[in-house]
Amino acid sequence: MRKSTFCVLLACYALGIVLAKYNLFPLPIHHFTGFSIYTLFTIGICISLWSARSIFIGVAALLFILIGGHSFTLHKRLIKEILSFETQEKVPLLATIDKSVKKTRSGFTASLQLHSLTAEVLLKANVFTADSCFAELQKGDTIRCSVPLSSIRSPANPYQFNYKDFAMGQAIYFQIFLKEDQWSLISAPIKSTQKRVEIYKKRCTDFLKHNITKKDAFGLVKAMILGDKSSLDPLIKDQFRDTGAIHVLAVSGLHVGIVLALLIFFLGLLPLPFRIKKWSVTLIPLVLIWCFAVLTGSSPSVIRACTMVSFFLCAKLLNKHGDIFYIVLLTGFFILVWDPNMLFNLSFQFSFLAILGIVLFMPILDELMQARSPVLRFFTASIKVSIAAQVPLFLLMIHYFNQFPLYFIPSSLLAIPLATIIIWLGVLSIFFSFIPMANMIAKLLLKGSEKTSELLLFCIDHLSQLPMTTWNELYLHSSSLIIGYAGILALILAYYLSNKKLLLAGGFCFIGLSINHNLNIANSHQELTTTIYHIKNKSLVEIYDKGVSYIINPDRLTNEEILKWTHKNNLAHYIKERHILPYSSSINQYPLNQSTLWIFEEPPENIWDLVQESDIVLIRNARQDQIPDKKKGTIILDGSSPFYIPNTYNTRQFAFIKKIDDCE
């Protein structure tokens, strides 16, 4: 199968998932799927006599769109069935600790596998408790509890981190809150697989902790080798993020590749016959990288990387040329078949775009950047990989994080070689630590890993202190994101197909991106919208009037809290000015840009004659009989009022926000 055909079919499968997610299919999708299978079979036989390849690909593309949508529909039904187990009443449960217990600000948390005593189904949930005894539990332990099973709430504010979607990406749909007297421990078999993995991981952690003297170095080595960032200082995380080196902290494809290179290097030194070495250099790394994945917590990014490596090694074992492009697409296809919702997972998007960027842009950069010296080739190779990975991620980083690291090239030149040394020495030291006669070698190797990690921390710390580390205050609308990636795709195809029309199309796409961005700014400056934030049981009202932000702060939040919760929403609305209105129960009228804000504890009867169509009326203690019919303005009501109209962003004091004419 040609690369272009494979790309088209995979893109059609992904398009079907997107259409199903946003309910854009006009008829029940399973009817389309059955009809398409029959159509494909019939048309395929008829046109095969004429070798009409293009027609066949078109029908196959339609089929993949419908199958992708059908798979996502089945996935939604499964989630709906799982969520039907939610209950506010106490239910008896057996729960196994699926991930190690972690300490939080208010207590402890862990991931559980739930074995319901009333239904034959396996569920996963996050547990939260303030009980200090819970911290002594280990992965694989089983507890008995009787608690309500509640689903994870959606975010209460616009542009807030969607923890619900993040948890659903890990197949976690529920949350449990435990008190001291609501659970009891049931001894788990000491020889279970989970317990063995946890014992080995704890032994590795203790070895690192006892032999690394610097706290920051210990946290860095532990994060890069064992995938546990709990001991890492948040300030260090911020420095790595701002300099564009955050990818070296999370165990992912980079770490799997480094470990794989280490294994292949040492296995290649063994004096074995050719056939035996061929099998050993393939099968042993294949087994050990999956052991590494289990030891580091089996995160989705590691599983994806190990899956790609498995395809590559199997192709090598079968004397086949393992085209990395096919391997990436094939891995993505299998992951989407297994879980269609992964298409909307941020980690999935970043990892696959980065790998595709390296695969597609490296040949282009190889022609532009050539070096004869081995030293220069090493540095130019690192620069080319960094640029190739960042080009497809540039738009996505702006869309999600509203910033872009400007020093990603020097940070990668420093971080990747040093991270390679840290991982190599750290993995070897842990290996020798299990050999009694080689304990001294293990300590020496770990000391080298510690010194290298200190050097990396020193470099990142000084790099983060340079001016203009990140390009902040950026915003990219979803429509502009789609247009931008269409332009990038057109430019890539123009290079590989030597097509000037595609080059011209890519240029027009980027012109369209600029036009669309400016249209979004112009439209936002003509809007009058109201946003209500729910912040730690307090409320904050923000009104956007023709590009100007007016903030009403009845619960007296600090300026830092206001900026934190409104910043990204202000970027999305392209705010030019900000005004914090002084709130007082004695002040009822606030002039805005082109309208008026009225605030009342209880509205006077004669006030409705003064309210204009563009005005906003905020009522803190409203009753239904206080709101006359057929009045003008936008009404914001107390959430406890019987007139309350629920919406996506509920708050303690206020609800939104509906035209009074629509509330009859």
Separation CA 476–CA 536 (nearest Å): 29
Q: Helices in 498-557 by DSSP H: which ranges? A: 500-524
Sheet holding 616-619, edge to edge: 589-591, 596-600, 616-619, 634-636, 658-659
| pLDDT recorded at residue 515 | 92
Residue 608: phi, psi to the nearest 5?
A: -70, -20
Separation CA 304–CA 267 (nearest Å): 24
Q: What is the mean pLDDT of residues 576-595?
A: 73
% of residues, the chain, pLDDT over 70: 82
Q: In terms of Cα–Cα distance, which of 553, 529, 527, 550 is closest to 657?
A: 529
Residue 122: phi, psi to the nearest 5?
A: -105, 120
| pLDDT recorded at residue 458 | 92
Copy the structure tokens of residue 581.
Answer: 């209105």
Least confident residue range of 126-135, 429-438, 525-534, 559-568: 525-534
Residue type (1 letter), 449: S
Confidence class for position 415, pLDDT limits 50, 70, 90? confident
For residue range 293-349, what is the model confidence (pLDDT) as tens digits? 888 877 777 888 888 888 888 877 777 666 777 788 888 888 888 888 888 888 888
Confidence class for position 452, pLDDT limits 50, 70, 90? very high
Q: What is the mean pLDDT of residues 140-146?
A: 82
Q: Helices in 296-323 by DSSP H: which ranges? A: 300-317
Separation CA 583–CA 581 (nearest Å): 6
The dihedral over CA atoms of 191, 194, 200, 205, expressed in degrees to the nearest 10, equals -140
For residue range 18-68, what is the model confidence (pLDDT) as tens digits? 888 877 765 454 455 555 555 665 556 555 545 556 666 667 777 788 888
HEC readout, 43-84: HHHHHHHHCCHHHHHHHHHHHHHHHHHHHHHHHHHHHHHHHC
| pLDDT recorded at residue 512 | 92
- pLDDT reading at 632 higher than 70: no
Q: What is the mean pLDDT of residues 598-625?
A: 67
Q: Model-level pTM greater than 0.75?
A: yes
| Conformational region of residue 267, where left means phi above 0, alpha means psi within -120 to 50, and beta covers everything else | alpha
| pLDDT recorded at residue 662 | 31
- pLDDT reading at 480 higher than 50: yes
Whether the CB-CB separation of 453 and 220 falls below 8 Å is answered with yes
For residue range 214-248, what is the model confidence (pLDDT) as tens digits? 888 998 998 888 888 878 888 888 888 888 888 88
- pLDDT reading at 592 higher than 70: yes
Separation CA 235–CA 237 (nearest Å): 5
Q: In terms of Cα–Cα distance, which of 110, 108, 119 is closest to 86?
A: 119
22 Cα distance to chain centroid: 19
Question: Which residues make beta-bridge pairs with 659?
Answer: 634
Confidence class for position 457, pLDDT limits 50, 70, 90? very high
